């Protein structure tokens, strides 16, 4: 199982906690998926003393590691402030760092992301940056102190799968010792399996599970696909061929 910042987690599947039809369905999806990490966005809304307490109690009952998220932040200052709030709220140095640079595609701002990551790591945070598969950007993030990288498969919420397999494969080869998590864009369990077959350490899914007709069944599907893909990667799969090759040997066969 993957290890993030010296913490070994129980599953290669991470689940987000937004958009589920009900808290009960969210909880059951987590139970059936066996997910080891729950990502939680920090709500920057005014509220009373008990605001959010029911939700936090639900997350605690899941018994999984919590990864707070700076979702929706469009500037370095906003992301840093949200991360500091998250550390106080959830009592963890883990932070999934998002600095959004494009409103339509929700593509990360590479310049702001590196700046925020450097500031947060200097402040003792253990940063999980949501990034693209760009090798130069990922090099800068590692230099800034990030010990995990979370490249997208496709834009958030699209369900398009792995848009740039070449880029993701190159990233895995370039960072053989850095934990890599495909974050965003996965719509089907088969796409998660593909990510694992490329040698990735985990995947993060939210919309594909939460917005499915049956979120609990979809969570189970992703759990099984992630494990199948990981086993395939560990098994040293055969290389693809352009020509057919018989699976039954012809040596010793009688020719009539």
The helix (H) or strand (E) run that includes residue 233 is helix 215-234
The question of whether 96 is a catalytic residue gets the answer yes
Query: Residue 200: left (phi > 0), alpha (psi -120 to 50), or beta?
Result: beta
Rounded Cα gap, residues 195 and 140, in angstroms: 23
DSSP-derived 3-state class of residue 15: strand
Distances (CA, A) of 213 to 20, 51, 152, 216, 222: 11, 29, 24, 9, 14
- Spell out a b/e string for 130-168, using b for 16 or more CB atoms within 10 Å of the CB, else e: bbbbbeebbebbbebebbbbbbbbbbbebeebbebeeeb
Distance of alpha carbon 256 from alpha carbon 253, whole angstroms = 10
Contact 208, 159 (CB under 8 A): yes
Place of tokens 């402030």: 81
CB 182 within 8 A of CB 153: yes
Indicate which residue of 8, 96, 147, 211 is catalytic: 96
Active site residues per annotation: 96
């Amino acid at each position: 199982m993957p290890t993030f910042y010296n913490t070994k987690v129980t599953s290669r599947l991470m689940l987000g906690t937004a958009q589920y039809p009900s808290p009960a369905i969210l909880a059951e999806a987590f139970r059936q998926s066996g997910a080891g990490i729950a990502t939680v966005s920090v709500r920057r809304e005014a509220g009373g003393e008990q605001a959010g307490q029911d939700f936090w109690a639900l997350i605690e009952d899941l018994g999984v590691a919590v990864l707070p998220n700076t979702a929706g932040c469009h500037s370095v200052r906003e992301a840093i402030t949200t991360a500091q709030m998250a550390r106080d709220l959830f009592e963890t140095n883990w932070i999934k760092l998002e600095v959004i640079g494009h409103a339509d595609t929700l593509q990360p701002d590479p310049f702001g992301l590196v700046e925020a990551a450097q500031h947060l790591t200097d402040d003792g945070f253990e940063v999980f940056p949501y990034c693209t598969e760009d090798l130069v950007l990922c090099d800068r993030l590692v230099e800034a102190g990030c010990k995990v990288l979370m490249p997208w498969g496709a834009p958030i919420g699209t369900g398009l799968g792995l848009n740039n397999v070449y880029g993701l494969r190159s990233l895995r080869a370039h960072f053989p010792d850095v934990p890599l998590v495909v974050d965003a864009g996965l719509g089907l369990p088969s796409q998660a399996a593909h990510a694992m077959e490329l040698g990735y350490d985990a995947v993060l899914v939210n919309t594909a599970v939460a917005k499915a007709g049956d979120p609990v069944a979809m969570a189970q599907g992703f759990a099984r696909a992630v494990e199948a893909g990981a086993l395939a990667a560990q098994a040293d799969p055969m290389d693809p061929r352009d020509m057919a090759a018989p699976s039954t040997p012809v040596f010793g066969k009688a020719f009539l």
